[in-house]
C-alpha cells in the first residue's frame, strides 16, 4: 500500500489487488513497533550497526544504510499522514527498547503499531483514490521477453478470472509463516508472491533464514509482542529461574530473537519446560503499566490462553514468525524482470540477513515500499504499455480447470497439515543434516502428491477450497526452497542453527543463497554480500 500511495502521488493510475480487504492484511497484527533513530542521542549509524550485527553480517550494508538513514524521514511522514504514535510526557514521539538494539529506538502505537499503520495506509489509499480490487486472488504474473505485462487474478466473489494489464507490478504479498505448524502468521500468510515469482522465473534469496519468535501463545501460536520483554517482562523455566542469564548474561531477555528462541527450546528439551512451554512473567510490572502499555497483550492472553498476565505468567514457546528471505531485489525493489518489483516481507533486499531485528520489518515495508513505488512510477512515466499476451488468460483458465476436473484425490488441507508438521520437525529452531535431508525428501514427495489433489467444491462463489489448493502450491515451493537452502548451508548463522555445524563460517558462507526454478526443479547458486562499513565480528549479546 505504501508503494501504491507513492505511485499515485506521482499521478499514476494505480490499483491494489489483494486477496483480503487491505485493512485485513497481516501487517495489522504487528504489535511492538517500528524503528528509527529520531533522537539527538541516537544516530542512523547506531541503528545500522545494530541491524548489521543482528543480521549476523549477512545483510547487505548498502541496503541497510538506506533503511536506517531514511527511517526518521519516513516516521515523520507517517506522523504527518496522521499516525498516532504514542508520546512521552513532553509530547514527543516515545520510543521503547527492543531486542538486539543498543538504544530504545522503537516507535509505537501502544501495542497496536501495525494496526495503526495499516489503517493509516488504507486511509491514504482512499485519499489518493487508489482503486482497490479486494478479495481478488492473483493467480499468475504475466511476463514475456523479460518484461512484465500485468497479472491474472480470480475474483473470489463470483470466481471470474480477470486480466489486469499494466506497465508495472509490485509484489507485496507478505510472509509465508503458514508453511510451519506453529506460527504467528495469519491464515492468509502463505507466501504466494514468492511462489508466483519462482514461476515467473525470478530468484528467491536466503530462504533458509526463518525467524522463530520466542514468545508465541501455547496452543495457537498467537504472538505476544517483544514489547512485553521490552517493558521488562521475565522469562522463567519450570524452576522459576530467569534462564536467559545463562545464555545472554548482559541483556538477558532482550537478546536477539534467534538467541532467545534457542534458549527456550534448550530449556524445554532439557526438561525445564512447563507443558512444552516456558513462562513469560509480567506480574512485577504492575497493573497500571500492563494496562497502559500492553493492553492488547492482556486481552490476547485472557481470550486465547485463559491466563490473566496481571496474576499469572503466560505460557509461551517459539513459533515461525518472519521470513528473512524472499524475492531478490535491488534497493529500489526492482527484480531482474523489467517492470516487476517486490517490497515488504515478500522481498529480500536484503536488510535482515540471517536474522531480523524487531521493529525493522514494518520499517522495511515503509521505506522500501515507498522506494519501489517511486521506481515503478518512474518507469511507468517513461515507457509505453507493453502488449498483454492473449494466451495468458487462457493458460490460467486451463490450469484452474485442470484442478477443478480432478476427482478422488487427497484434500489440500490434509496435505497442508502434513507439510507444516514436516517443516516444524525438520526445519525448525535446531537443524542438522540428517533431519534436513529427510525433510527435503518429504517435501518433494508431498509435491508429487500435490499434483493429484482434488476438490469437492467445484462452485464459483467464494471457493475457499480452490484458493487453498493454489496457496498450497506456493507453500510447497517455499518449503522446498527453505529446506534446500538449509541443507546446503553448512554453518550456523542468525536464525539458521545447525547442531552439526554450530559455528558461523565467514570463509565459506558469508554469501547469499539464491534459488530459482528451472523446468520445475530448484537450482541453487550464491551471491556476495555487500559489506561497506562494518566488518564481520563475533556476535554476542
Partner 1 sequence: MKIKFKIKRYNPAEGEPAEPYFQAYTLDVEEGMSVLDALLKIADEQDTTLSFRRSCRSSICGSCAVNINGFARLSCATQVMPEYAKMGDMVIEPLSNHVPLKDLIVDFNPFWSRIEKVAPYLTPTSRRARRRGDVPARENDGARVTARDEEAIDKSQRCIMCGCCNSECNALEIDDRYIGPAALAKAWRLVGDVREGNSRKRLERLSEEHGMWNCVRCVHCTQYCPKSVSPLKQIESLRSRAMKEGVLDNPGAKHVEAMADSVKRVGRLDEAAMTFRTLGFLRSLGMIPFGLKMERHGKMPKPLLFPQIENIAEVRDIYEEAERLEKEDRERKKG
Q: Which residues bind partner 1 (CB under 8 A)?
A: 9, 20-21, 23-26, 28-29, 38-40, 72-73, 76-77, 79-82, 84, 86-87, 89-93, 112, 115-116, 119, 123-124, 126-127, 157, 186-188, 219-220, 222-223, 296, 299-300, 303-306, 411, 413, 455-457, 459-465
Q: Pick from ligand FAD, partner 1, none: which does 475 bind, CB < 5 to 8 A by kind?
A: none
Regarding 273 and contact with ligand FAD (CB under 6 A), the answer is: no
Q: Is 172 in the site for ligand FAD (CB under 6 A)?
A: yes
Q: What are phi and psi of 307, to 5 degrees?
A: -125, 130
CA distance 148 to 169: 7
Report the residue number, 138 or 483, with the smaller CB distance to ligand FAD: 138
115 binds, among partner 1, ligand FAD, none (CB under 5 to 8 A by kind): partner 1
Query: Please, which residues have CB within 8 angstroms of residue 419's CB and are 6 or more apart in sequence?
Result: 179, 443, 446, 472, 475, 476, 479
- Find the farthest-apart pair of alpha carbons in the chain and give their distance in angstroms, rounded: 68
Which of 288, 254, 226, 300 shows the shortest CA–CA distance to 32?
A: 226
Q: What share of the chain is helix, strand, coil (3-state, %, to 5)?
A: 40, 20, 40
> Based on CB atoms, which residue is closest to partner 1, 194 or 224?
224
60 binds ligand FAD (CB under 6 A): no
Residue 306 binding target from ligand FAD, partner 1, none, CB below 5 to 8 Å by type: partner 1
Kindly state the smallest distance separating residue 186's Cβ from partner 1, in Å. 4
Q: Would you list the DSSP string of 130-147?
A: -EEEETEEEEEEEEETTE
Which string of x and - marks every residue 130-149 that binds ligand FAD (by CB under 6 A)?
Answer: -------xx-----------
Q: Which of residues 346-375 bind ligand FAD (CB under 6 A)?
A: 346, 358-363, 365
C-alpha cell at 260: 532467545
Q: Of these partners, partner 1, ligand FAD, none, which one is at the site of residue 362 (CB under 5 to 8 Å by kind)?
A: ligand FAD
Residue with smaller CB distance to ligand FAD, 72 or 439: 72
Q: DSSP label at 203?
A: -
18 binds, among ligand FAD, partner 1, none (CB under 5 to 8 A by kind): ligand FAD
The nearest distance, CB 157 to ligand FAD, in angstroms, is 14
- Tell me which of 264, 345, 424, 477 binds ligand FAD, using CB under 6 A: 345
C-alpha dihedral sign at 415, 416, 421, 422: positive
What is the rounded CA–CA span in Å between residue 485 and residue 475?
15
Q: Which contiguous run of DSSP H or E holds residue 155?
A: strand 147-155
Q: Would you count residue 344 as binding ligand FAD (CB under 6 A)? A: yes
Of ligand FAD, partner 1, none, which one does residue 502 interact with (CB within 5 to 8 Å by kind)? none
Given ligand FAD, partner 1, none, residue 187, with its beta carbon under 5 to 8 Å by kind, binds: partner 1
With beta carbons less than 8 A apart as the criterion, state whether 73 and 80 touch: no
**Interface mask toward ligand FAD for 14-43; x: CB under 6 A:** ---xxxx-x--xxx-xxxxxx---------
Q: How many angstroms separate the Cα of 415 from the Cα of each of 163, 187, 298, 520? A: 30, 16, 35, 19
The catalytic position among 257, 431, 489, 493 is 257
The position carrying cell 489487488 is: 17
CA–CA distance, 119 with 114 (Å, rounded to integer): 8
Is residue 257 annotated as a catalytic residue, yes or no? yes
Report helix angle 412-426 to 464-488, nearest 10. 20
DSSP calls for 41-94:
T--HHHHHHHHHHHTTT-S-HHHHHHHHHHHHHHHHHHHHHT----B-TTSSBP
Binding site for ligand FAD (CB under 6 A): 17-20, 22, 25-27, 29-34, 113-114, 137-138, 172-175, 184-185, 188-189, 192-193, 223, 321-322, 344-346, 358-363, 365
Catalytic residues, which ones? 257
Amino acid at each position: 500500500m505504501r508503494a501504491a500511495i507513492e505511485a499515485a502521488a506521482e499521478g499514476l493510475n494505480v490499483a491494489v489487488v489483494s486477496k483480503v480487504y487491505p485493512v485485513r492484511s497481516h501487517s495489522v497484527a504487528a504489535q511492538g513497533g517500528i524503528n528509527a533513530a529520531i533522537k539527538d542521542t541516537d544516530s542512523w549509524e547506531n541503528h545500522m550497526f545494530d541491524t548489521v550485527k543482528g543480521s549476523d553480517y549477512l545483510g547487505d550494508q548498502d541496503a541497510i544504510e538506506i533503511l536506517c538513514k531514511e527511517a526518521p524521514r519516513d516516521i515523520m511522514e507517517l506522523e504527518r499522514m496522521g499516525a498516532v504514535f504514542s508520546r512521552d510526557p513532553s509530547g514527543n514521539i516515545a520510543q521503547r527498547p527492543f531486542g538486539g538494539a543498543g538504544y530504545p529506538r522503537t516507535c509505537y502505537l501502544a501495542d497496536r503499531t501495525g494496526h495503526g499503520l495499516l489503517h493509516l495506509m488504507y486511509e491514504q489509499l482512499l485519499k489518493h483514490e487508489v482503486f482497490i480490487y479486494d478479495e481478488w486472488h492473483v493467480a499468475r504474473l504475466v511476463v514475456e521477453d523479460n518484461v512484465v505485462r500485468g497479472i491474472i487474478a480470480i475474483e473470489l466473489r463470483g470466481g471470474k478470472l480477470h486480466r489486469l494489464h499494466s506497465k508495472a507490478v509490485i509484489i507485496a504479498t507478505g510472509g509465508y509463516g503458514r508453511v510451519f505448524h506453529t506460527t504467528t502468521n495469519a491464515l492468509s500468510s502463505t507466501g504466494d508472491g514468492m511462489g508466483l515469482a519462482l514461476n515467473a522465473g525470478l530468484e528467491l534469496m536466503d530462504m533458509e533464514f526463518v525467524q522463530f519468535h520466542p514468545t508465541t501463545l501455547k496452543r495457537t501460536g498467537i504472538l505476544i509482542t517483544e514489547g512485553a520483554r521490552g517493558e521488562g517482562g521475565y522469562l522463567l523455566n519450570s524452576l522459576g529461574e530467569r534462564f536467559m542469564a545463562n545464555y545472554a548474561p548482559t541483556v538477558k531477555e532482550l537478546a536477539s530473537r534467534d538467541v532467545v528462541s534457542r534458549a527456550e527450546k534448550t530449556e524445554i528439551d532439557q526438561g525445564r519446560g512447563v507443558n512444552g512451554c516456558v513462562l513469560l512473567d509480567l506480574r512485577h510490572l504492575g497493573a497500571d503499566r500492563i494496562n497502559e502499555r500492553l493492553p492488547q497483550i492482556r486481552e490476547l492472553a485472557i481470550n486465547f490462553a485463559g491466563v490473566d498476565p496481571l496474576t499469572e505468567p503466560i505460557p509461551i514457546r517459539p513459533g515461525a514468525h518472519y521470513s528473512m528471505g524472499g524475492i531478490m531485489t535491488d534497493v529500489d525493489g526492482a527484480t531482474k524482470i523489467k517492470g516487476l518489483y517486490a517490497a515488504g516481507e515478500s522481498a529480500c533486499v536484503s536488510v535482515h540477513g540471517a536474522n531480523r531485528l524487531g521493529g525493522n520489518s514494518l520499517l522495511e515495508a515503509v521505506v522500501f515500499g515507498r522506494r519501489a513505488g517511486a521506481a515503478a512510477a518512474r518507469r511507468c512515466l517513461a515507457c509505453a504499455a507493453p502488449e498483454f499476451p492473449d494466451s495468458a488468460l487462457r493458460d490460467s483458465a486451463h490450469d484452474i480447470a485442470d484442478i477443478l476436473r480432478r476427482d478422488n484425490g487427497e484434500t489440500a488441507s490434509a496435505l497442508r497439515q502434513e507439510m507444516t508438521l514436516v517443516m516444524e520437525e525438520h526445519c525448525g529452531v535446531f537443524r542438522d543434516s540428517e533431519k534436513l535431508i529427510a525433510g527435503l525428501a518429504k517435501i518433494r514427495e508431498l509435491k508429487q502428491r500435490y499434483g493429484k489433489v482434488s476438490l469437492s467444491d467445484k462452485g464459483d462463489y467464494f471457493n475457499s477450497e480452490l484458493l487453498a489448493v493454489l496457496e498450497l502450491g506456493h507453500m510447497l515451493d517455499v518449503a522446498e526452497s527453505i529446506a534446500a537452502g538449509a541443507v546446503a548451508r553448512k554453518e550456523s548463522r542468525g536464525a539458521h542453527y545447525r547442531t552439526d555445524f554450530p559455528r558461523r563460517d565467514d570463509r565459506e558462507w558469508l554469501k547469499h543463497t539464491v534459488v530459482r526454478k528451472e523446468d520445475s526443479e530448484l537450482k541453487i547458486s550464491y551471491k556476495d554480500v555487500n559489506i561497506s562499513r562494518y566488518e564481520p565480528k563475533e556476535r554476542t549479546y
